[in-house]
Amino acid sequence: MTTEPEPRPSDPPGTSEATEPDASSPSATRDEATGPAQSPVAAPRPAVRWKAAVALTLAAGFGLVAMSWPLLAAPGGALTETSSGPWLFALLLPLVTAVVLLQLTDGGLDARAVAMLGVLSAVVAAVRPFGAGAAGVETVFFLLILAGRVFGPGFGFILGCTGLFASALLTGGVGPWLPYQMFAAAFVALGAGLLPRTPETGTGRTTELAILAVYAAFSSLLYGLLLNLSFWPFAITHGNLAYVPGGGFGENLSRLLAYSLATSLGWDIGRAITTVALVLLTGPLLMRVMRRAARRANWV
Amino acid sequence: MPTPADTTIRPRTALKAARHTTHPVAWWGWALLLATAAGRTANPWLLLLIVAVAGLVVTWCRGSEPWSGAYRVFLVIGLSAIAVRMAFYIVFGGSDGPTVLFSLPSATLPEWAAGFRLGGDVTAEGALAAAYDGLRLATLLVCVGAANALASPRRLLRSVPAALYEVSVAVVVALSVAPQLVESVGRVRRARALRGNTSRTPANLMRTVVSPVLHDALDRSLALAAAMASRGYGRSAGIPVPARRATSAALLIGLIGLCAGAYALLSAATPAPLAWTTVACSAAVSAFGIAFASKRVPHTRYRPDRFGWRDWAIVASGAAAVVGTVLSGILEPAALWPATNPLAVPDLPMWAAGGILLATAPALLAPSSRGGTP
Full DSSP string of B97-127: -S-EEEEEEEEE--GGGTT-EEEEEEEHHHH
Task: Mark yes or no for CB contact B221/A293 under 8 Å.
Answer: yes
Task: Mark yes or no for CB contact A11/B154 under 8 Å.
Answer: yes
Residue type, B136: R
Residue B342 falls inside a structural domain: yes
* Window from A156-170, A239-253, B126-140, B154-168 with minimum mean pLDDT: A239-253
A-B Cβ pairs (cutoff 8 Å, strict): 382
Task: Mark yes or no for CB contact B148/A43 under 8 Å.
Answer: no
Q: Are residues B128 and B168 in the same domain?
A: no
For residue B342, what pLDDT band results from cuts at 50, 70 and 90?
Answer: confident
pTM above 0.80, yes or no: no
- Residue B353 neighbours by CB under 8 Å, 6+ apart: B45, B46, B49, B324
Q: How far apart are CA A173 and CA B74, in angstroms?
A: 9
- pLDDT at B297 (0 to 100): 67
- pLDDT at B289 (0 to 100): 84
Angstroms from B170 CA to nearest CA on chain A = 4
The total of structural domains in chain A comes to 1
Q: Are residues B250 and B286 in the same domain?
A: yes
- pLDDT at B50 (0 to 100): 92
Q: A300: which chain B residues are within 8 Å (Cβ-Cβ)?
A: none
Q: How far apart are CA B202 and CA A285, in angstroms?
A: 13
Angstroms from A86 CA to nearest CA on chain B = 11
Of B85, B170, B236, the CB nearest to A43: B236
Q: How far apart are CA B282 and CA A286, in angstroms?
A: 42
For residue B347, what pLDDT band results from cuts at 50, 70 and 90?
Answer: confident
Q: Do A137 and A131 touch, CB atoms closer than 8 A?
A: yes
For residue A175, what pLDDT band results from cuts at 50, 70 and 90?
Answer: confident
- Residue B155 neighbours by CB under 8 Å, 6+ apart: B23, B24, B305
The total of structural domains in chain B comes to 3
Q: How far apart are CA B281 and CA B298, in angstroms?
A: 28
Percent residues over pLDDT 70 in chain A: 68
Mutation for A interface: B236, B286, B300, most A CBs within 10 A: B236
Higher pLDDT, A99 or A46: A99
Q: Taking each helix axis from N to C terminus, what angle separates B24-39 and B350-358, rounded to the nearest 10 degrees?
A: 170
- pLDDT at A48 (0 to 100): 41
For residue B13, what pLDDT band results from cuts at 50, 70 and 90?
Answer: very low
Beta bridge partners of A15: B300
For residue A138, what pLDDT band results from cuts at 50, 70 and 90?
Answer: low
- pLDDT at B51 (0 to 100): 92
Residue A141 has pLDDT above 70, yes or no: yes
Task: Mark yes or no for CB contact B252/A54 under 8 Å.
Answer: yes
Residue B301 falls inside a structural domain: no
Q: Are residues B32 and B154 in the same domain?
A: yes
Mutation for A interface: B92, B112, B173, most A CBs within 10 A: B173
User: Could you report the predicted ipTM of this complex, rounded to two decimals?
Assistant: 0.74
Angstroms from A70 CA to nearest CA on chain B = 9
Nearest residue to A270 via CA among A228, A221, A229, A236? A221
User: Of B230, B261, B276, which residue is a domain's last?
Assistant: B230
Angstroms from A66 CA to nearest CA on chain B = 8
Q: Are residues B135 and B17 in the same domain?
A: yes
Residue A23 has pLDDT above 60, yes or no: no
Which residue in B has a C-alpha nearest to residue A55's C-alpha? Answer: B252
- pLDDT at A32 (0 to 100): 37
- Residue B238 neighbours by CB under 8 Å, 6+ apart: A19, B298
Q: A79: which chain B residues are within 8 Å (Cβ-Cβ)?
A: 265-266
Q: Are residues B329 and B257 in the same domain?
A: no
Residue B147 falls inside a structural domain: yes
pLDDT digits (tens, 9 = 90+) for B240-252: 777 778 888 888 8
- pLDDT at B298 (0 to 100): 65
pLDDT digits (tens, 9 = 90+) for A234-262: 666 666 666 766 666 777 777 777 777 77
Residue B372 falls inside a structural domain: no
Q: Taking residues A141-160, report their average pLDDT.
A: 86
Q: A240: which chain B residues are within 8 Å (Cβ-Cβ)?
A: 92-94, 114, 116-117
For residue B326, what pLDDT band results from cuts at 50, 70 and 90?
Answer: confident
Residue B19 has pLDDT above 80, yes or no: no
Owning domain of residue A154 = 33-296
pLDDT digits (tens, 9 = 90+) for B198-226: 777 877 888 888 888 888 888 888 888 88
Residue A29 has pLDDT above 50, yes or no: no
CATH of the domain at A145: 1.10.1760.20
Residue B101 falls inside a structural domain: yes
Mutation for B interface: A27, A91, A99, A155, most B CBs within 10 A: A99
Owning domain of residue B111 = 8-158+306-365
Q: How far apart are CA B144 and CA A231, in angstroms?
A: 15
Residue A41 has pLDDT above 50, yes or no: no
Task: Mark yes or no for CB contact A51/B248 under 8 Å.
Answer: yes
Task: Mark yes or no for CB contact A126/B175 under 8 Å.
Answer: no
Residue A26 has pLDDT above 60, yes or no: no
Of A2, A21, A62, the CB nearest to B259: A62
Q: Taking residues A214-228, report their average pLDDT.
A: 86
- pLDDT at B184 (0 to 100): 86
